[in-house]
Amino acid sequence: MSLSAPVNGSRRAVEWWRDVPPPSARDLQLEADTLWARELGLLDGEENAGGLPSGEFSWTEIDRSTDIVDSDDDPGGDDPAPTAHDGLTSASQDGSTPTADTGEVASAPILDGEADVDDLLRALEVAAVTQRRATAEGYRLIALLVSRASIDPEPWVGPDPTLDGVGSDPRRRGAAAIARDRCDLAQRAAVAEIAVRLRLSEQTVRLRGSQAESMQERCPRTWNDFAEGRTSERHAVETARLADSLPDSPETWAAFDDGASERARTLTPAKFVVAARALRERVHADSLEQRHARAARDRGVWVTAELDGMATLSALLPADRAHAAMARVDRFARHLRATPDEERTLAQLRADTLADLLDGADTVDGARPGSAPATAPSPGLATPHTPTARARPAPSRGSIVVTVPALTLLGGGDGPATLDGYGPIDLDTARRLAGGATSWTRLLTHPLSGAPLALDRTSYRVTAALRRWLGVTSPTCVFPGCARSARDCDIDHLTAWAEGGTTDADNLEPECRHHHRLRHESRWSPSRDPDTGDVRWTSPRGHEVDTDPPPF
């Protein structure tokens, strides 16, 4: 497939993955060298006689037959990346040869400590272009791999059971349903493989692949600018995000793409976001009411870990309810700020008020000393949303899990405490939480390695105790990189019960529903080291990766 998009008044091919091979390291390095030389003015006039292309070009336009001069200093092994073109071999005034080492600018002779400031700035621009092109190539390759997995799922999920004529499906699905599920699972398995190899989250991998497809289909001009390094990743990602929210109309896509690509070339990312959103409003055919109804389906609440025992609590809400909630928090905080001897800032009071209102403790509405009375909203503030009696749950405290070394708790050690779902917390907070604990689970660990050794047998009588044990030893899904809490996971047998596996802590691991399904329906497979007890996963393509270590 090949699409065309206007670039600087002309139209050039926008190449996509279906029929175009990716550029090799040699191609990319050669293009970087040529850009470098042209930016530094080394290819003006007669110095462009070496056969280099003139005007705008991309890696597909470079003459593949041109000789390459390999660098003696390249550490790349048997197949070093080229660092000079025959048109770049003319020496500079000091006799040195310019290179395109954008990764370490100071190593290039022309960019030493005595280099001209303008040369350094031009080199920085070339490095930025090279980085943007490499980033766009990464997006393209992710989309290619996921697309191929959907077209040919067998390498990821195994042979098609409907082809042998004797296979039966325990879920009694038809052939079409099996085919759909195989494609979906193959894509999930491919995303998981990419994620563990690149050390990215699966959500990030899926998003990049989707954004690449969206830009290519809906915003080819913007994609072309991104692929050629004229716009940044942030410009491209915001364009893809907004384009995904547009109706399925080629005319609407084209109008948005034309305006977005023009603005992306001249505006910083922050200003581009504002301009692109305004552009989206102008070209969108649906009413604001229709769009709000769709957007409200994505509402939710989540926690993001921050440094030094802090975390950010975020909520995506309809705007009126978000502002009403903020107005209530602000009203209480301002009332407290006016009390004598109050030293906390308004921002701190807002945060403390929100926590008091949500954590089920004595709330700001109650008789807590120094609290604001539950009075009517101040004039000019939005009236808070009041849940009905049916919607309002009974007051309760949320459940959190803290692991504290016994010696630390007793004041005889300084081993770190761990908050489930977050990580290390300060000892004063840990002791305060321990003082209010309603139950305890005794967990013995190795004093040096921290490996779990045993669970108190009195707590091992029922499934709930075993779940608590697994939640402490493996606080998240055991698939590498997955952060889903063990509380929300399935408990899976590493060795199946039918194959002689036992139902005990040595043979059980928490797996989120997504990775549980991948484990049993794709070619992802876990195994446990009999000596260390560590779990290792093998991907459908044979890549091995260890599960994340426990937090203690």
From the list 528, 538, 550, the residue with the least C-alpha distance to 192 is 538
Q: Is residue 435 part of a domain?
A: no
Q: Is residue 461 part of a domain?
A: yes
C-beta of residue 539 within 8 angstroms of C-beta of residue 196: yes
Q: Is residue 415 part of a domain?
A: no
Segments in the chain below pLDDT 70:
1-113, 164-171, 360-401, 406-416, 420-423, 434-463, 465, 497, 549-552
Which of 276, 298, 320 is where one domain is finished? 298
Do 70 and 43 belong to one domain? Answer: yes
Q: What does the alpha-carbon distance between residue 267 and residue 259 come to, in Å, rounded to a whole number?
A: 12
DSSP 8-state class, residue 343: -
Q: Is residue 426 part of a domain?
A: no
Q: What does the alpha-carbon distance between residue 522 and residue 158 come to, in Å, rounded to a whole number?
A: 7
Which of 153, 188, 218 is where one domain is finished? 218
Do 187 and 258 belong to one domain? Answer: no
Q: Is residue 429 part of a domain?
A: no
Do 38 and 87 belong to one domain? Answer: yes
Q: CB within 8 A of 112, min separation 6: which ones?
A: 106
500 class by beta-carbon count within 10 Å (0-12 exposed, 13-18 middle, 19+ buried):
exposed
Q: Is residue 120 part of a domain?
A: no
pLDDT score, position 202:
93
pLDDT score, position 307:
84
Do 240 and 293 belong to one domain? Answer: yes
Do 292 and 303 belong to one domain? Answer: no
Do 192 and 285 belong to one domain? Answer: no
Do 187 and 281 belong to one domain? Answer: no
Q: What does the alpha-carbon distance between residue 478 and residue 493 come to, in Å, rounded to a whole number?
A: 12
Which amino acid is it at 396?
A: S
Do 238 and 154 belong to one domain? Answer: no
Do 542 and 447 belong to one domain? Answer: yes
For the CA atoms of 148, 150, 156, 157, the dihedral, rounded to the nearest 10 degrees, stands at -160
Inter-CA distances, 49 with 52, 86, 477, 547, Å: 7, 10, 60, 56
Q: 330 pairs with which residues across the strands? A: none
Do 469 and 482 belong to one domain? Answer: yes
Do 33 and 87 belong to one domain? Answer: yes
Domain holding 273, by residue range, is 219-298
pLDDT score, position 10:
38
Q: Is residue 288 part of a domain?
A: yes
The total number of structural domains in the chain stands at: 5
Q: Is residue 410 part of a domain?
A: no
Strands 452-455 and 490-493: unpaired
Which of 86, 115, 144 is where one domain is finished? 115
